[in-house]
Structure 1
Amino acid sequence: MAGMTLDQLRIFLVVAEQLHFTRAAETLYITQPAVSAAIQSVEDDYDVKLFHRIGRRVEITDAGVLLQIEAQRILDQVAQAERGLRELNNLQRGELKLGVSLTIGNYWLPDRINQFQQQYPSVSVKCRLANAEAICEGTATGQFDLGLVEGEVKPSLKGVLQETEVGNDRLQIIVGKSHPWFERTEVPVSELPKTAWVMREPGSGTQQMFEQ
């Protein structure tokens, strides 16, 4: 016994509604023998009578009434599942898990999250802030759907992550009045290693970019 198919349930429901095999076939745009074969197959598989055939009239049996209720429930659930998948595919609902580096999460992302939520109000956005290295590793392992970081992905992860540039930012040097660079508008790259720096922790995209 292979079990009932969705097509058999759909055919059965139309026959149960029409109480007429020919009209059911016309509604479904299939032949009347195909309708009869679908009903007969279910009756044979489960050793039940779904309809009493009295001349040209058709009456639904108790077993048919039971199947009508359950078949409608099943097809409603299938339709709901199909709608859910379409909505998810079209970003009408669902959950987006973002991994975001600290600088982006604190300064760049908030306005863009607001714009996204206005366009897709039924999509729940979950953000986790960490340094760029942790975000890249989390995205590679599936912890995040999308990672937003500064700088480049480290070589060991380039084979499992796709990189796309979505914006540019500028790093600025800030010094006190007592520093030799104070009031200078430009500092050659060659001079950068000659002073002490207050830097982000290892793994930070900002630190990585500066070191490069």
Structure 2
Amino acid sequence: MTLEQLAIFIAVAEREHLSRGAESLGLTPSAASAAIKTLETTYDVHLFDRVGRRIELTRAGRVFLEEARHTLAAVNEAKGLLSELGGLRTGHLDIEASQTIANYWLPNRLMRFCERHPGITLGFRDGNTANVVQAVISGRAELGFIEGTVDEPALAAQPFLADELVIVMAQRAAAIAARTTLETLHHLTWVMRERGSGTRAEFEAALDRHGIDCATLPTAATLPTNEAVLGAVRGSSCAAALSKLVVSPFIAAGELVVLDIPLAPRQFTLLRHKERRLSAAALEFERICREPA
């Protein structure tokens, strides 16, 4: 059994989807399938059942998932200790972030860390908020970055940056956008992020504070990335709620307009496990994230 096989099994098990699990690790579905098949064959155990077009853990798979998480967490803690002993000259740090942060806020901090500490390798993955939370709980990631907040007893959550959600439409729909109010949001057709994303959860919470059930809004499509939502909105008369970080360039270019419907600010949040000691590399990365842009 290898650590790579454990990581592949955990990624697939948490998503109950072979392709998505493989993608989160930068692998092909065939490579992930082969790794899981090797585990099953070597130990003569059945870890997944195929139910219709999806997969789900067997009873044995559920038991093994908890052990695999503990094992990987212990390995990552050992790596962190070696990094400290090496004075940040060598080591490894695993980070996971939700998409908005991963694509629009974190990259230059990652590069700053790499420039200062070239001997530290970074394992960096993106996913929705639910995936990031699970990654930190399982030990697959030492630090997690999410949009909004999370109520998870195992995790310490520290707000580190204020963000703003805005409702946008394509320039072609500027006349519609100008006369839309909270009371007439139901007159629009929407493109939504998938459930489990921080953007979707924060938008639902913002509407709920105004007594509006997000589920009642007419929805043309539910898409898994900010970029997909952006493309759909820019090419249609639909509306969407996205981070200002994501849409600012398109607003400046005159491609998108913002509806005059302010949504409450939200926080970006740093997650770590309460019972695991942070490595020197993780503490240094945390410090870099708090530096001025």
* CA distance 1:85–1:169, change in 2 (3 Å): closer
Structure with a larger share of its residues in strand: 2
Deviation at 1:85, TM superposition (A): 6.0
Matched, 1:201 2:160: no
Which residue number in structure 2 is paired with residue 170 of structure 1? 164
In 2 relative to 1, CA 188–151 (structure 1 residues): closer, same or farther, beyond 3 Å? farther
Alpha-carbon distance in 2 for matches of 1:126, 1:141: 15
What is the CA distance between 1:181 and its match in structure 2? 4.0
Alignment of 1:107-118 (within 5 A): 107-118=104-115
One-letter amino acid of the counterpart of residue 151, structure 1:
G
1:36-92 CA distance string (max 9 Å, x none): xxxxxxxxxxxxxxxxxxxxxxxxxxxxxxxxxxxxxxxxxxxxxxx956435x533
- Say which of 106, 116, 121 aligns to 1:124: 121
Once the two structures are TM-superposed, the CA of residue 149 in structure 1 deviates from its matched residue by: 1.0
Cα separation, partners in 2 of 1:86 and 1:133, compared to 1, 3 Å: closer
Secondary structure, counterpart of 1:202 in structure 2: coil
Structure-1-length-normalised TM-score = 0.51
CA distance in 1, matches of 2:83, 2:123: 20
Larger Rg: 1
Looking at structure 2, the residues matched to 167 and 106 of structure 1 have their Cα atoms a distance apart, in angstroms, of 15
In structure 2, the partner of 1:93 is 90
Query: Cα–Cα, structure 1 residues 195 and 123, in superposed 2: closer, same or farther, change >3 Å?
Result: same
Q: Report how many aligned residue pairs link the two structures.
A: 124
Question: Is 2:161 the counterpart of 1:160?
Answer: no
**Conserved in 1, the CA contact under 8 Å of 2:93 and 2:123?**
yes
Partner SS for 2:141: coil
1:22-171 alignment to 2 at 5 Å?
84=82, 86-88=84-86, 90-153=87-150, 155=151, 158-171=152-165
TM score, norm. by length of structure 2 = 0.38
Q: Secondary structure at the match of 1:182?
A: helix
In the aligned structure 1, how far is the partner of 2:116 from the partner of 2:184?
A: 47
Report the CA distance shift for 1:159/1:106 in structure 2 as closer, same or farther (over 3 A): same
> Which amino acid is the alignment partner of residue 119 of structure 2?
S
- C-alpha deviations, 1:110-154, integer Å up to 9, x for none? 11101111222211111111111111011111111111111111x
**Secondary structure of the equivalent of 2:163?**
coil
Relative CO higher for 1 or 2, CA cutoff 8 Å, sep ≥ 6?
2
Distance 1:125 1:197 in 2: 37
Identity %: 31
Contact kept, 8 Å, 2:96 with 2:145, in 1: the verdict is yes
Deviations 1:144-180 (A, max 9, x none): 1111111111x3xx20011011212222221243466
RMSD between aligned residues: 2.5
Task: Give me the whole-angstrom Cα distance separating, in 2, the residues matched to 1:111 and 1:200.
Answer: 25
Unaligned runs of 5+ in 1: 1-82
* C-alpha deviation, 1:208, in angstroms: 0.6
Q: Flag the 1:160–1:84 CA change in 2: closer, same or farther, 3 A.
A: closer
Mapped to 2, the partners of 1:108 and 1:198 lie a distance apart of 23
Q: Which amino acid letter does the alignment assign opposite residue 98 of structure 2?
A: S
Counterpart in 2 of 1:14?
A: none
Supply the AA of the counterpart residue of 1:105. Answer: A
Match of 1:57 in 2: none
What is the CA distance between 1:107 and its match in structure 2? 1.1
